[in-house]
Structure formats: structure tokens, C-alpha cells
């Protein structure tokens, strides 16, 4: 039997691996995805924890709803359907305030709720921006923030001329001042959002963009993190794994080959180029060597890719050290899914960790509580009086 040969070999069939495979196959390249598990999807998993109770143990929310890929890869044609939440989130404080924040589809509910508890006309910067921009404007801003290719490293640009500030100025000229460009998100919240619980919530939600809310100059990306959640505010129908299926169907329809039970043990490097991969012995694929004419793309974690699959003999020592120095300590994300037989009436939850999500699954309802420690004394002990 001949060695298998493709233009592109992708290691890992999570949603990043299968998405890149779908795009490259659509561009006419021959592509193969090698996935070690019996099912692709990675963190986009859906499982039946108990008969009748399906949960997403990892990714739950799809906040990439503004991404161009949904249209470009025609995911709706391949079965993807989004279920949008009528309300994005709720806020509960220790002194018994419970506010419904509404969200993109229910903005009036959010404002009414804030009005009731603050006693004043609420200033909800995110809500005001959402309302002023409208859906199309918000999609444009989110695309400028999160779906713009990085600039070449020698390309100089004034921060205020970054694509996201250009879109912001165009959409919201009445809110624009030069000062915004240097602000951190915390500066912005202190100035524009007068209610502490909402400030804490927004600072928490900002982590979706990856930038810490106290970093100078990151006000708009952080705000974009909260808008990302507001604009998406939903899940794929049938759970996250159905999203993975739609991407995989798109990849296959465009000609990609997806091979499961195929753990890659080594990325083969010749003359400084990745030219193929070696599968482990127990891989189900008959050929243990798969060659790549153009590129091997690793869609698995950076440490495994460089220290294990490529191997340090092919890499610069200082680069290997940088990879080793990548630390995952100090930040972790986990989802706790709790199945309860009855609605909770009074539950006390003591929280000592950083950010914590608790999912309460009651029959087919999923309730997610999020806690942040922006104001730790407010949130360290929370009474959920009624679910
Ligand atoms: C608890 C938790 C909650 C999250 N919540 C959300 C959320 O609500 N919304 C959201 O959008 N994101 C969420 N995420 C993040 C999201 O799950 C990840 O960003 C996403 O799964 C990354 O996709 P990926 O394809 O890069 O990697 P992965 O999903 O990790 O996929 C990597 C794939 O590579 C395979 N693989 C690994 N090594 C090999 C090998 N040697 N050979 C072959 N295959 C290999 C794995 O089996 C896996 O299928 C959450 C993550 C966690 C952990």
C-alpha cells in the first residue's frame, strides 16, 4: 500500500482543526484531519451524564455568533441551528437584589430591572452601545475586533486607527473621544457605569476577549468581550457537539478527509520543514506515515506540539524554553454541572475561587451562574434564594 499523501495534514479534530480543514479544502487543497479520539469535536462535546440529561461538559455558550465562518462555511446548510436566549444574564447580590440584564433580544427588560433596583435612570454602557449600533453595527465592530488578521510585525499604526476604533468612530460618533483609546476597561466602568454590581458583572464578562480589564488601552477589546457574549447569547440547538458536526460536514463536503482513532505521535521534520506525521501503533489508520506536500498544521496544545510532537532537536533552544515557560497556573476554567431533582429553594454557596460557573440542570433547563471576584467581599458568599 502506498504512503498516504495530502497537501495539508491537520493534527487534532477539535473545532479549530476541523474549521481550518474546511477552509483549506474549500480553497481546493487536499486535506486530512487526524483525531486521536473516536469522535471529533474536542471541547465541543455533548454527553448524556444521566439518562435524559444531556450536558455540555466543556464549551457551553457559542459567543462567536458574529464570526464570518458561519456564512463562509455554510454551517446552516450542514445542520447548524442557534438557540438564542431571551435574556443574557442575571445578577444576584448579597443584599437580595436580583436583576435580569436582558441582553440583545430583551433590552427593555434589562433597563426596567436596573431602574427598579438603582432607583435612577440606569446607565448601562454596554446596553446603550448595543442599542445605538443595532445588530449590523455590532457585527461589524465585533468582526473588526476579533476577526481581523493580525498586522505584519513591521506595520506601524496609531492605536486610534486600529480597525475596531475606526468602526467605533463611524458607528458611535457621539461617544468618541481620544481619551477612550488609552483607558482600561476598569477606568471606563468607573466613569460610565454607576452601579457596582453591574460594574462587577461587566468586568467579569470582559474576560471573554482574553485581555484583563485593568490593562491600559484595552477598553474597547474588553468591552468587545462583553458585547461578544451579548451578541451571541445562545447555544447551538442540540448542544455544542452539533456545532462540531456542522463544521465536520462542511469540511467533508468540501473534500477533506477526517480520520478518527488516529493519534499522532510525531511530526516529521526534514531540512527544517514539517513534511508529515507518524501515527502511533494503535492508530486505526492502516498507514502509519501520512505525508504533507505543503504543511502540517497542529491544532493541539502548544506544549504537546513543540516539546513532544516536533521534538526539541529541531528547534532553537530559546524557543523551546519559551514554550516550557508557558504557564497555565493561576487561571483555570471548569464547568460544574449539577443535576437536581427539584427546584432549589434555598441554597448557600460559598465561593472561594476566582471565577466560577455553576450550571443547574433541572429537567431540561440549564441555568448558569457566574461569579467574579472584581469585588470579592460582595461575592464571596452568595445566597441563591430562588432559582
Ligand atoms: C471547562 C471549559 C469551558 C469552556 N466553555 C466554553 C464556552 O462556553 N464557549 C466557548 O466558545 N468555548 C469554551 N471553552 C473553550 C473551548 O472549549 C476551546 O477553546 C476549544 O475546544 C478549543 O478548540 P481546539 O480545536 O483548539 O482544541 P480542542 O477542542 O482541545 O481539540 C483538540 C483535539 O485534538 C485532539 N488531539 C490531542 N492530541 C492529539 C494527538 N496527538 N493526535 C491526534 N489528535 C489529538 C483531541 O482529542 C481534541 O479532539 C471552554 C473550555 C473549557 C475547558
Pocket test for ligand 1, best of 12, 82, 258 (most atoms within 8 A of CB): 12
In contact, 45 and 57? CB cutoff 8 Å: yes
Helix (H) / strand (E) containing 185: helix 185-192
- What φ, ψ does residue 359 adopt, rounded to 5°? -100, 125
Establish whether residue 202 lines the binding site of ligand 1, counting it when its CB lies within 6 angstroms of any ligand atom.
no
- DSSP result, 273-287: EEEEEEE-TT-SSS-
In this predicted structure, the answer to whether residue 217 has a pLDDT above a threshold of 90 is yes
As a whole number of angstroms, the distance between CA 95 and CA 205 comes to 22
Average pLDDT score over residue span 68-91: 88
Q: Name the average pLDDT for the chain.
A: 81
In contact, 207 and 355? CB cutoff 8 Å: yes
C-alpha distance from residue 156 to each of 73, 151, 153, 159, 160 (Å):
32, 9, 8, 9, 12
In this predicted structure, the answer to whether residue 379 has a pLDDT above a threshold of 60 is no
Pocket test for ligand 1, best of 34, 225, 300 (most atoms within 8 A of CB): 300
CATH topology of domain 4-44+237-323: FAD/NAD(P)-binding domain (3.50.50)
For the CA of 17, the closest atom of ligand 1 is 25
Q: Ligand 1: which residue has its CA nearest to atom 22?
A: 43
**Angle, nearest 10°, between helix axes 196-205 and 185-192?**
150
Per-residue pLDDT tens over the stretch 235-249: 898 889 999 999 999
Which of the four pLDDT bands, split at 50, 70 and 90, describes residue 1?
Answer: very low
Question: Can you give the residue ranges of every domain in the chain?
Answer: 4-44+237-323, 103-232
* Distance of CA 139 from the midpoint of ligand 1 (Å): 25
Which of the four pLDDT bands, split at 50, 70 and 90, describes residue 350?
Answer: very low
Which of the four pLDDT bands, split at 50, 70 and 90, describes residue 383?
Answer: very low
- What φ, ψ does residue 267 adopt, rounded to 5°? -95, 120
Please return the burial class of 28, using the count of CB atoms within 10 Å of its CB with bins 0-12, 13-18 and 19+: exposed
Per-residue pLDDT tens over the stretch 283-340: 887 778 999 999 999 999 999 999 999 988 899 999 999 999 988 765 556 676 766 6
Q: Ligand 1: which residue has its CA nearest to atom 7?
A: 59
Establish whether residue 60 lines the binding site of ligand 1, counting it when its CB lies within 6 angstroms of any ligand atom.
yes
In this predicted structure, the answer to whether residue 358 has a pLDDT above a threshold of 60 is no
Q: Ligand 1: which residue has its CA nearest to atom 4?
A: 59
Establish whether residue 239 lines the binding site of ligand 1, counting it when its CB lies within 6 angstroms of any ligand atom.
no
Which of the four pLDDT bands, split at 50, 70 and 90, describes residue 230?
Answer: confident
Which strands, in side-by-side order, build the sheet including 335-339?
335-339, 356-362, 365-371
pTM of the predicted structure, to 2 decimals: 0.85
Per-residue pLDDT tens over the stretch 10-34: 999 999 999 999 999 999 999 999 9
**Looking at residue 359, what is its pLDDT?**
39
119 contacts: CB under 8 Å, gap ≥ 6: none
Cell of 333: 476554567
* Distance of CA 111 from the midpoint of ligand 1 (Å): 36
- DSSP result, 137-175: HHHHHHHHHHSSPPPPTT----GGGSHHHHHHHHH-GGG
- What φ, ψ does residue 386 adopt, rounded to 5°? -145, 135
Q: Ligand 1: which residue has its CA nearest to atom 5?
A: 59
In this predicted structure, the answer to whether residue 376 has a pLDDT above a threshold of 90 is no
Per-residue pLDDT tens over the stretch 164-205: 999 999 998 888 899 999 999 999 888 887 777 778 878 877
Q: Ligand 1: which residue has its CA nearest to atom 50?
A: 59
For the CA of 41, the closest atom of ligand 1 is 49
Q: What's the residue count for the chain? A: 387
Establish whether residue 299 lines the binding site of ligand 1, counting it when its CB lies within 6 angstroms of any ligand atom.
yes
CB atoms within 10 A of CB 145: 23
Rg (CA), the chain: 23
**Looking at residue 259, what is its pLDDT?**
95
* Distance of CA 44 from the midpoint of ligand 1 (Å): 7
In this predicted structure, the answer to whether residue 384 has a pLDDT above a threshold of 60 is no
Establish whether residue 9 lines the binding site of ligand 1, counting it when its CB lies within 6 angstroms of any ligand atom.
no
Cell of 115: 431602574
As a whole number of angstroms, the distance between CA 162 and CA 342 comes to 51
* Distance of CA 136 from the midpoint of ligand 1 (Å): 29
* Residue in the structure block whose three cell numbers are 497537501: 7
Amino acid at each position: 500500500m502506498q504512503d498516504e499523501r495530502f497537501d495539508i495534514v491537520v493534527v487534532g479534530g477539535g473545532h479549530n482543526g476541523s474549521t481550518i480543514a474546511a477552509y483549506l479544502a474549500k480553497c481546493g487543497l487536499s486535506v486530512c484531519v487526524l483525531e486521536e479520539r473516536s469522535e471529533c469535536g474536542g471541547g465541543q462535546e455533548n454527553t448524556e451524564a444521566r439518562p435524559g440529561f444531556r450536558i455540555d461538559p466543556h464549551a457551553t455558550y457559542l459567543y462567536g455568533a458574529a464570526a464570518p465562518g458561519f456564512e463562509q462555511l455554510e454551517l446552516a446548510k450542514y445542520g447548524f441551528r442557534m438557540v438564542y436566549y431571551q435574556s443574557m444574564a442575571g445578577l444576584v447580590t448579597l443584599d437580595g437584589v436580583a436583576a435580569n440584564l436582558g441582553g440583545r433580544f430583551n433590552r427593555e427588560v434589562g433597563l426596567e430591572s436596573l431602574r427598579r433596583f438603582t432607583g435612577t435612570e440606569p446607565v448601562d454602557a454596554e446596553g446603550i452601545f448595543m442599542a445605538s449600533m443595532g445588530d449590523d453595527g455590532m457585527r461589524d465592530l465585533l468582526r473588526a475586533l476579533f476577526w481581523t488578521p493580525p498586522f505584519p510585525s513591521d506595520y506601524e499604526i496609531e492605536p486610534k486607527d486600529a480597525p475596531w476604533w475606526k468602526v467605533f468612530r463611524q458607528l458611535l460618533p457621539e461617544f468618541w473621544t481620544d481619551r477612550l483609546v488609552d483607558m482600561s476597561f476598569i477606568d471606563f466602568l468607573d466613569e460610565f457605569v454607576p452601579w457596582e454590581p453591574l460594574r462587577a458583572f461587566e468586568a467579569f464578562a470582559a474576560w471573554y476577549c482574553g485581555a484583563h480589564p485593568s490593562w491600559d488601552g484595552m477598553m474597547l477589546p474588553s468591552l468587545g468581550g462583553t458585547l461578544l457574549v451579548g451578541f451571541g447569547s445562545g447555544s447551538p440547538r442540540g448542544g455544542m457537539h452539533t456545532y462540531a458536526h456542522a463544521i465536520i460536514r462542511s469540511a467533508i463536503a468540501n473534500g477533506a478527509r477526517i480520520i478518527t482513532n488516529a493519534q499522532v505521535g510525531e511530526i516529521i521534520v526534514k531540512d527544517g520543514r514539517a513534511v508529515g506525521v507518524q501515527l502511533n501503533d494503535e492508530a486505526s489508520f492502516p498507514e502509519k506515515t501520512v505525508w504533507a506536500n505543503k504543511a502540517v498544521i497542529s491544532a493541539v496544545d502548544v506544549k504537546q506540539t513543540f516539546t513532544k510532537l516536533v521534538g526539541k532537536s529541531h528547534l532553537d533552544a530559546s524557543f523551546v524554553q519559551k514554550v516550557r515557560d508557558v504557564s497555565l497556573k493561576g487561571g483555570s476554567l471548569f464547568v460544574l454541572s449539577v443535576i437536581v431533582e427539584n427546584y432549589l429553594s434555598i441554597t448557600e454557596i460559598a465561593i472561594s475561587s476566582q471565577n466560577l460557573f455553576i450550571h443547574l440542570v433541572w429537567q431540561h433547563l440549564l441555568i448558569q451562574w457566574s461569579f467574579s471576584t472584581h469585588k470579592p467581599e460582595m461575592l464571596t458568599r452568595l445566597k441563591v434564594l430562588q432559582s
